[in-house]
Homo-oligomer: A and B are copies of this chain.
């Protein structure tokens, strides 16, 4: 019932465990056929736990993300997986955007993986760097922590993306531009807001605090934030949404309130939608290669692991993924919304 061990195989063939072990690692052994048979007959599988323990290597890496339901992170995972090659098993773990879970997961992963690609929940979280004190290679993707300069990272050019979006709207004549951004204690939340505010400043448009809404990267958050903006006595004429899910939520709110795009309001998403052609009008968006960003993170991790194995010094590598603006139909010059009726 319970699984056979290498000893069982060795006994059945009449060789030592060392020989079976050697056979398993690809060395030449005299009774290779007999061993192969015995393995099949006994349904033998090497115990991963025992292997890890002895060798210290796991041939496994993990990707820890805040929300696996977000297609962005699913794509990051796919990209990373594709870049991992056949030698590594890639595990995906969802921290569910709960800080204690993230910390617990990192602890549990320790000793079971050779490295981790992490999208940390908060920039002020010391868990990851604390974690890496144990010598576990770690690469930040999309988000970093405060001391991240000491670690590898693969970020997107958040500031540039937000700048492109803001400039695009300003060029169209908008001045009442709002942004629905992610939590300011996350990297993309903070930097996209920064790109927005710095561009406004440079263009000499006064920042209206009520136009800068800190939300939570969820569809519900995007919906609620857009509703809030629409209820403003002087609603914005254009809105930048800070990630794909919030774009969807915001679009849902607009549709529900029957606000026309782009006639009544312009909207730009940071991150393109997955299926951009199906909705009408198409969402003008800041594009970046999701899959490639994941792949880049995996390459960085494998390089880090290799460096560690070779005891080579390797300074922290910081990769930056470029963005560009894709114009579709969701932006137009402002005409202003009708004045808000009471009730």
Contact = CB atoms under 8 A, between A and B. Distances in A.
Contacts of A31: none
Interface in A38-80: 43, 45-50, 52-53, 58-60, 62, 68-69, 71, 74-75, 77-78
Interface string A78-114: 1001000000011111101000000001011111100
A45 B136 CA distance: 12
B93 A108 contact: no
A257 interface: no
A239 interface: no
Interface of A: 1-3, 43, 45-50, 52-53, 58-60, 62, 68-69, 71, 74-75, 77-78, 81, 89-94, 96, 105, 107-112, 130, 133-135, 219, 248, 251-252, 255-256, 275, 277-280
A209 to B, nearest CB: 30
Contact of A96 (B48, B81, B251, B256): B81
B69 A74 contact: yes
Contacts of A275: 219, 248, 252
A81 B89 CA distance: 20
Given A53-B50, A94-B90, A105-B89, A45 B252 contact: no
Contacts of A46: 111
A89 B108 contact: yes
A26 B91 CA distance: 29
Contact of A252 (B2, B93, B109, B277): B277
Given A92-B94, A108-B89, A53 B49 contact: yes
B43 A134 contact: yes
Contacts of A48: 52, 108-112
